[in-house]
Amino acid sequence: MPPKAQRDTAPPPFMHRGGPWAHFQSAPVRAADSRAAVRRLWGYLAVHRGVLAAAAALVAANSGLSLLGPYLNARGIDLIASRAGIGAVGRVCAIMAAVYAALSAITWGQAYLMAGVAQRTVRDLRRDLFGRLQRLPLAYFDRTPTGDIMSRVTNDIDNISMVLSDSVSQITSGVLGMVGVVIAMCLLNVRLAGVVIATTVLMTAILTGWVGKRTRAGFRDQQAALGKLNGLVEETLSGQRVVKAFHREEHVIRQFARANEELREASTRAQVFAGTIGPFMNLSGNLTLAVVATASGVMAIHGLATVGLVAGFIGYARMLMRPLNEIAALYNTIQSALAGAERVFATMDEPPERDAPDAVPVPELKGSVRFEDVGFSYDGKTPVLSDVDLEAAPGQVIALIGPTGAGKTTIINLLSRFYDVDTGAIRVDGMDARSVRRGDLRRRLGIVLQDTYLFAATVRENIRYGRLDATDEEVVEAARVANADQFIHRLPHGYDTMLSERAGNLSQGQRQLLAIARAVLADHSILILDEATSSVDTRTERHIQEAMRRLMRGKTCFVIAHRLSTIRDADLILAIAGGRIVERGRHEELLQRKGFYWNLYTRQFRRAAVGTAKRI
Amino acid sequence: MQSFRLLRTYLGPHRKWAILAPALMALEVAMDLLQPRLLQAIVDVGIPRGDLAFILRTGGWMLAVAAVGLIGGIGCTVCAVLAGIGLGTDLRRDMFGKVQDLSFGNLDRLEAGSIITRLTSDVTQMQELAMMLLRIMVRAPLLLVGSIVMGILTSRTLALLFFFLIPAVLIIVTYVVRKTFPLFARVQACIDRVNTIVQENLAGVRVVKSFVRSDYEAARFGDANDALMQVGVAAARVNAATMPLVMLVFSTGFVATLWIGGLQAFSGGLEVGRIIAFSNYLMQALMSLMMVSMLVMRLSRSEASARRIGEVMAQVPEVPTPTPGDTMTPASRDGRGAAVAFEGVTMRYGDADADPVLRDISFEAMPGETVAVLGATGSGKSSLVHLIARFYDVSEGRVTIDGVDVRRWDERALRAAVAVVPQETVLFSGSIAENIRYGRPEAPQEELEAVAEIAQAHDFICDMPDGYETELSQRGANLSGGQKQRIAIARALLMRSPILILDDCTSAVDVETEARILDGLLAGEAARTCFIVTQRVATAMTAHRILLLDDGKIAAQGSHAELMATSPLYRDIVQSQAPEEDSHAA
């Protein structure tokens, strides 16, 4: 079965924007092979090697200089305590001011450089991802939900961007800074350093271990409950009219109340644990303060420390605590960004549509098409088409009829080489379709689908999509041939009217007329038409019929036909059922045969006959 | 501010926690503020006197104070979480209940997608705001004021620094916000553009491929992508200046403290410990100031959420429920269809000055009659049948079922009396059986299979791996459009309602199957009055009576033969759909 229902699975609108719970969605997922993802990302970063080196130098300078702050402060306090004179204090102050000014400048420079690198890198990632998407076969889009692909282009890449611009330099400077602080503290006073380091390590262990573990588990549960509730809300509200029509309001309210209660319980747990991180961090700051003050006080009495040392150590202890917490907090962000990167790269690694190495360009086509024993299956198991043989001479109209799911759309998918045949061959002007360039083939082959896709652009641009170098006059002429000119003139800005997303401001019929105009402009040699079933009103329908007839003139046409008039006028009718051609011939021949076609034909009209007979 | 109004209303039931949380936070802040003073005592009293016991005692006090602070902090967190999540849960419940009360008209105006966003991310936004308000919003100002007070107590001269440093931080933050705000708006616009192009390419992948427009699309995407990159760099660079600037203010404060403290120490005997303590207060004050400004920015985002939530809550159902004493439920009709009558019905969507979609419609359908509603797109077919189910109310005239105005029918009885197969098929997750039973969960299996058979769904359901118990994936993605429509028809049939409405619901079903469905329906026609909305003459011909709508008016009504004889418009339509020789054949 062609997964035609794809259109129905468009993502709910709130999923693409990185909404407040977007990060929860990817949080528990980790990259399977972080190292490979990092290596690949480095490939993108390496382009900016020079800038990165400069940024790295700034980060190193930053870490080194920031160590001077508490040391100078300690010096200053000691000078004051020892009454060394205001001149000496002034000198220390001047040096401090210079160091801090330099630090600010360096911090800014490093953020400035990284902002450029990060944005350019994700630009390149987005470009490559989109480029690959353009070359992937239709099968990929059939099996991958649109929402998935969208979230790769948006959420995943956003996460990477965030990590690149902030986290990388934060972590580097954090690690460098921590090493520096430990060294500086040891140089100042080994014993005091030991006390501070022990306290810090202990507090960090408690935070990341006890609290961290519970928080992560809590968020996982909250995420599951939230997902369930959101799923319920989405499903109920998109079917709200049915809920009302069947008077099921109380039932869905009860369902919702259950999910809401589950969410309340799960998120209370998650939030309480997550919420204790703040107070605990505060506690560890205060503990360090108490320990440093007491320990250095005791040492000062024994002449092992000076007063300034107290001030200096408090400063260092802060510098030690911060990066530890930051790294712990960033760990999840980085993990989920790497998992995102992995998904992006996985899409980039999907095998693209590729022409055979010796594929030949297709010149003009005369338009003969032959299917030779074609067999095909979407999943490699269930055959969708078997032993399909058919021949269309240039200029002939071939009508494909048969019940839904019989394989009509598949024949068309194969002809346009959206998929390749499993067995047999399709020949166009005698050439095997697989031996020619796919792009060339499609360019000669026009498709007008039942569900027309229009882009958020002007009417003119949408028609011009058929042939990009068409002049304005040619566009208008094509619209005239397609019977679209009239209604376009009635639009608020004529040809310059912007069509909204999914073209909600046009009727189904009008959209079809635009698609026909597009095809007229493209002037293909082979046409594939998917006739509309019933959603168009009579007047528009007549316009469409007329336009189609003009479009089809002199071209080889394959029509998935629903209208008897089209079928009757066709040069060849192929009745398809269960993936095989069960009958072929012209209208009259097939009627005489009293087989499948005759059955279909009379059934449709039997009803008409019954309906009339009842009244008469 | 709308967000505060919303918070006040919804925090009401959780008052206990909402009051306790700030109180406990105040405890934590008070403890935090004590620490530098104790530190100062060690430096200025303990060390100079060489009093080991004093130092250890004070150190012990510092630990105790830290512990009390922790209790305050955790207590505050628990209370804030209970209050905030309570608010979120209640708000979601009320909003969902509200949406269930709304009528079709309200739903038309509020798109489903937008209600979903409001119910999920906007509520989460408010919940987070409440929790934040009760914690950080209390902590930061308290800490700010407390630090200033303690700073003044520690040293009046040094406290003068606050006068310069606080305004400096405020100016920087305001400047950066002013500068980045429009930039971030532009970033968002660029992101939207990029997303639109991707979305279009995914939805229109067949068009792009068949016209071989990959290069064109890549170029289009490239432009949008580059624009996003450029604005992104600009915004990130302006933003990058914030931290260094604020750092500069902080460090100016430290240097100034040391310098002025030094001067004071030499001239007036300011103790060294006070200088150290003051640096700590200064640091705390400036940090909490930063926090406050971040929160203010955050608040403006919540304001938008509160407004969107308020919009839903302010909706008034367009179709009011009848006053309980005024309802009428007609007597039972022993398995026969119901009589439906339209009397001079005019209907408008929205305002009274909008163009009516239906004008002066009058007709009567006998019990058990099958009525086809035929007409072009936009002629008002769906609106007409929606009035029978009272999805909307008439603007003028009245619609009656068994002689009773639908506005006086009890809502539950009316829904049970009218079964609708909507134009757009909606199925829910769950098994096929659950979906068919949607309107009558208690229906037995035999009945289920009987209606599925009429809807031509039984065979394909039996072919599925688990038959009737087959689980549908989201919105029935594992079924074809035609299969979904047939399940929707079975679902409506199972209601056994005296009135059945088929709203152009066989578009994806092939002609032959549609014919069999209609045959099956008509076989039991006496049991129900049936309305079939269609654009196919062949379908309409099966009905007893055809209502031909044109531009909201009844252009003609009668049987196929009558209309062929009297209505030129009808003949026109017949001709366009079935060419001459075919209609002769009939």
pLDDT in tens, A297-335: 888 888 777 777 777 887 787 777 777 667 766 776 777
Ranges of beta strands (E only) in B444-552 are 471-472, 499-503, 529-534, 545-550
Domain ranges of chain A: 1-11+33-188, 190-304, 361-444+524-587, 455-523
Minimal CA–CA distance to A246: which of B112, B427, B485, B93? B427
Q: Which of residues 461-520 of A touch B (CB under 8 A)?
A: 465-466, 468, 501-502, 507-509, 518
pLDDT number for residue A22: 31
As a whole number of Å, the end-to-end CA separation of chain B is 70
Question: CA torsion angle for A218, A223, A228, A230 (degrees, to 10)?
Answer: 130
| pLDDT score at B215 | 83
Tell me if A9 sits within 8 A of B474, measured CB to CB. Answer: yes
Q: How far is the C-alpha of B141 from the C-alpha of B290, rounded, in Å?
A: 10
pLDDT at B377: 66
Summarize pLDDT for B505-526 with one digit per residue, the tens: 777 777 677 778 888 877 765 6
CA distances from A569 to A561, A564, A565, B361 (A): 11, 9, 6, 41
ipTM of the complex: 0.75
Q: Which helix (H) or strand (E) holds A132?
A: helix A86-135
Which residues of chain B are within 8 Å of residue A307 when distances are taken between CB atoms?
43, 47, 272-273, 276
Asked whether residue A494 carries a pLDDT value surpassing 80, the answer given is yes
Please tell me the distance from the alpha carbon of residue A312 to that of residue A316, in angstroms, as a whole number: 6
d(CA B528, CA B512): 23
Sign of CA dihedral A380, A386, A392, A398: negative
* DSSP-assigned letter for residue B316: -
When mean pLDDT is compared across A228-232, B319-323, B328-332, B466-470, the lowest value belongs to B328-332
Contact B44, B273 (CB under 8 A): yes
Cβ burial of B226 (10 Å; 0-12, 13-18, 19+) is middle
- What angle (nearest 5°) sits at the alpha carbon of residue A133, between those of residues A129 and A135? 120
Q: Determine the residue among A195, A294, A498 to mutate to test chain B binding: the one whose Cβ has the most chain B Cβ atoms within 10 Å.
A: A294
Among A158-162, A231-235, B397-401, top mean pLDDT goes to B397-401
Dihedral pair phi/psi, residue A46, rounded to 5°? -60, -25
pLDDT band of B577, cuts 50, 70, 90: low
Ranges A91-95, A517-521, A538-542, A597-601: which has the least confidence: A538-542
A534–B contact, CB cutoff 8 A: yes
Rg value, chain B, Cα: 36
- Give the CATH fold of the A1-11+33-188 domain: ABC transporter transmembrane region fold (1.20.1560)
Paired residues of B343 in beta bridges: B398
Alpha-carbon gap: B530 to the closest alpha carbon of chain A (Å): 15
Of B77, B272, B577, the CB nearest to A80: B272
Mean pLDDT for A249-271 is: 87
3-state SS class at B505? coil
Per DSSP, what are the bridge partners of residue A498? A458
User: What is the enclosing helix (H) or strand (E) of B375?
Assistant: strand B370-375
The pLDDT value given to residue A503 = 44
pLDDT confidence of residue A102: 92
The average pLDDT across A480-506 equals 77
pLDDT at A325: 66
Q: Chain B window 301-360: which residues touch A at a Cβ cutoff of 8 Å?
A: none
The closest of A291, A246, A307 to A80, measured between CA atoms, is A307
Per CATH, A361-444+524-587 and A455-523 having the same topology is answered yes
Higher pLDDT, A331 or A512: A512
Contact A154 B232 (CB under 8 A): no
Nearest to A130 among B51, B63, B218 (CB): B218
Phi, psi of B342 (to 5 degrees): -105, 130
Record: contact A14-B116, CB cut-off 8 A: yes
Q: How many CB atoms lie within 10 A of CB B479?
A: 24
- Do strands A423-428 and B396-401 pair parallel, antiparallel, or not at all (unpaired)? unpaired
pLDDT at A515 over 80: yes
Residue of chain A whose Cα is closest to the Cα of B427 = A239
Which of A527-531, B56-60, B261-265 ranks highest by mean pLDDT?
B56-60
Place of tokens 């001149």: A87
> Which residues, 6 or more positions from A183, have their beta carbon under 8 angstroms from its beta carbon?
none
Confidence bin at B477 (pLDDT 50/70/90): low
For A341, residues 6+ apart whose C-beta sits below 8 A from its C-beta are: A31, A37, A40, A41, A156, A160
Question: Beta B404-405 vs B396-401: how paired, if at all?
Answer: antiparallel
Measure the CA–CA gap between A471 and B362, rounded to whole angstroms: 53
Q: Determine the distance in angstroms separating the CA of B397 from the nearest CA of chain A, rounded to an integer.
A: 23
Contacts with B467 (C-beta within 8 Å, 6 or more apart), sequence order: B432, B461
A9 against B485, higher pLDDT: B485
Q: Give the closest residue to B535 by CA, choosing from B326, B408, B393, B381.
A: B381
CA dihedral A196, A197, A202, A207 (to 10 degrees): 90
Residues in chain B: 586
- Say how far apart CA A302 and CA B85 lie, in whole Å: 54
* Residue A438 distance to chain B (closest CA, Å): 9
Domain A361-444+524-587 adopts which CATH fold? Answer: Rossmann fold (3.40.50)
Q: What is the pLDDT of residue B480?
A: 73
Q: Euclidean distance between the first and final Cα of chain A, in Å?
A: 44
Please name each of the domains of chain B with its CATH number: 2-155+270-313 (1.20.1560.10), 337-585 (3.40.50.300)
A458 and A495 Cβ atoms separated by less than 8 Å:
yes
DSSP for A344-391, written as a single string: HHHHHTSPPP---TTPBPP------EEEEEEEEESSSSSEEEEEEEEE
Tokens (6 digits) for A207: 């935070």
User: What pLDDT does residue A32 have?
Assistant: 66
pLDDT bin (cut points 50, 70, 90) of residue A613 is very low
pLDDT at B394 over 50: yes
Separation of alpha carbons B459 and B443, rounded Å: 20
What pLDDT sits at residue B540?
Answer: 82
Please report, as a single letter, which amino acid is at residue B234. A
A298 touches chain B (CB under 8 A): yes
What digits encode the pLDDT tens for the residues A418-429?
A: 888 888 999 988
Is pLDDT at A18 greater than 70 in this prediction? no
Virtual torsion, Cα A555, A558, A564, A569, nearest 10 deg: 30
Nearest residue of chain B to residue A62 (CA atoms): B244
Mean per-residue pLDDT of chain A = 78
Q: How far is A448 from A471, CA to CA, in rounded Å?
A: 22
**CATH architecture group of domain A455-523:** 3-Layer(aba) Sandwich (3.40)
CB contact under 8 A, B507 and A606: no
Angstrom distance (rounded) from CA A608 to CA A424:
42
Q: Which of residues 54-73 of B touch A (CB under 8 A)?
A: 55-56, 58-59, 62-63, 65-67, 69-70, 72-73
In the structure, what pLDDT confidence band is assigned to residue A500 with cuts at 50, 70 and 90? Answer: low
Instruction: For residues B370 and A328, give the distance between their C-alpha atoms in angstroms, rounded to a whole number.
Output: 70
Mean pLDDT of B480-503: 85
Q: In the predicted model, what is the mean pLDDT of residues A110-115?
A: 87
Distance from CA of A297 to the nearest CA of B (A): 6
